[in-house]
Amino acid sequence: MDHQTEYVDNALHRYAAFVQLLPASEVHHHAGLGGLLDHTMEVTLKALQLRRGYVLPPDAEPERIAHEADTWSYATFTAALIHDLGKPVVDQEVRLYNAEGRLLGPWEPWHGAMTERTGAAWYSTRYRQHRRHKFHEPVALLVAHWVIPAEGLAWIARLPNLFAHWLPAIQGDLENAGPLGQIVLQADRESVARNLGGQSPERLPTPRKPLHEKLMTALRYLLSEQVLPLNGNGAAGWLVGDELWLVSKRTADSLRTQLRDEGHTDIPASNDRIFDTLQEHGLLMANGNRAIWTATVSGDGWSHKLTLIRIDATRVWPEPDARPAPFEGEIIPLDEPVQTPPEPTQTHEPTPAEDEAASADVAATADEETTDSEGASSLLLPPGTDLPKAEMAATNPGSANGAEEGADEEADLELPADNGDAFLQWLRCGITDGEIAVNTPDARVHVVDDGVLLVSPGIFRDFGQATQRNWSNTQKRFLKQRHHRKNPADGTNIHHFIAERDRRSGYVKGVLIPDIELIFGAWRPRPNRYLRPASTA
């Protein structure tokens, strides 16, 4: 075995086996499927590139620099590789399942990679509530041996000066990490900036996101990391019912600092401009024509008069289970909003009985959904293995030309005012025109024996992106129409399926519509033969 295989390749394979396709964050950078692996590879590559510009060890004689060069390079490689290794250990809760969909129990990272658990075929993940800010940094050292070979650790430890910098570099202790810490920090920041649409020093192509999306992404991150603490005396905000009240200046200043640290250069210097941007896109609950509210916030033995902004909590935490505990005090607005007459609409308003019954269904759905926008869990595969590209039966009649024509028609399509009705019309037109795939590996719509499976919440998020409407409200309005069938096993709105081919399996969940004609009209596509209901045993 050569040194490349022994020290580098083994570490990369073991890292991929350990993190699988877990996200790097809940609401911030690289939050999607495989985000942690992508982010780490970017940081590692960039760190090795930056290392070329450093003479290491610092202030050493030429003979020593030449003699220790490879060891310092390997230390740079490993420090970058495991700098976020503690995230799956303390930030996330991972559950393992066998091929039949039966829960095997939680993954214990202290015992090694997920593949060490006999019978594990796939997994689900969710972020732990009330996790400690940056607690993953010191934890990385405790699981480093699952990734870095013993020979590699011994190689670094033979140089005491290098080892003294390597340990704090992994733990985020930049004061004592020396040049290694500087290299990893810069590489990490550039990876984050590219992912979030910030400016990269290399001027690599980056996705351009509108300002309001950047602001909301940063807000979710600041709240999740408790940079903006909630619900106490001296906090930055308070959650009351479905409304989040935030101290206006403190929030705007924190958002600006966070976005600039991420490399964004188009952030307004004026707080008013930040509030205007959020208000223009319906992200703030306006006080008449203004964004700012004056209110008294009172808790146990304390009271403050503050200027606040007011946000619908579903904009920050789409899943109710992800919200923090509500504020036990009260917030009393001191200025009444200027009322403007509402525009007349043809929207059907449910009766109190309908509303009450539907609310229970919506709550059950929220309890079952995860933050995975694709609606499917990761497959548990060995490092380097491609995800299965199952040849699922694509029976969509739409052609390439038809799809292009459909796109033109969708731009002119007038959707109903009610989001539930609008979603159904958008779905039907998209399927007919070939814009929405059916029964393909990445499709949001699958035909099954018992009806039509709409992958949730992914299909509703697609609608929100296509129409600029609130996807969460759309989901609620659609469920209130009672087109779906409840899961008889647990009484919720979500049905679980296994996608299986060639002894590989994945996990799909969604809303089941028994009436195929409601979605497809007279067309009867064949059921997706690679999907079967998950075992409820």
What structural domains and CATH numbers belong to the chain?
3-196 (1.10.3210.40), 211-333 (2.40.10.200), 352-533 (2.40.10.200)
Average of per-residue pLDDT across 400-427: 63
Closest CA to 377 of 21, 14, 19, 106: 21
pLDDT band at 424 (very low <50, low <70, confident <90, very high): very high
What is the tens place of the pLDDT at every residue in 46-58? 999 988 888 888 8
- pLDDT at position 335 is 66
Q: How far apart are the first and last CA of the chain?
A: 46
Rounded mean pLDDT, 234-247:
90
Say what the pLDDT of residue 54 is. Answer: 86
Query: Would you say residue 353 has pLDDT above 60?
Result: no
When the pLDDT of each residue in the chain is averaged and rounded to a whole number, the result is 78
Query: DSSP alpha helices (H): ranges in 267-392?
Result: 271-280, 313-316, 352-368
Better-scored residue on pLDDT, 203 or 106: 106
Q: Which residue has the higher pLDDT, 378 or 116?
A: 116
pLDDT at 368 over 50: no
pLDDT beyond 90 at 197: no
Question: In three state form, how does the secondary structure of 253-298 look?
Answer: HHHHHHHHHCCCCCCCCCHHHHHHHHHHCCCCCCECCECCEEEEEE
Better-predicted residue by pLDDT, 384 or 281: 281
Residue-level pLDDT at 375: 37
Per-residue model confidence as pLDDT tens digits over 521-532: 767 788 888 888
Distance between CA 36 and CA 218 in Å, rounded? Answer: 18
Q: Does residue 196 surpass a pLDDT of 90?
A: no
**What pLDDT does 159 receive?**
93
Task: Specify the pLDDT at position 163.
Answer: 92
pLDDT at 113 over 80: yes
468-519 confidence digits (pLDDT tens): 899 989 999 999 999 999 988 778 899 988 887 655 667 788 999 999 889 9
pLDDT at 389 over 70: no
Nearest CA to 25 out of 106, 87, 73 is that of 87
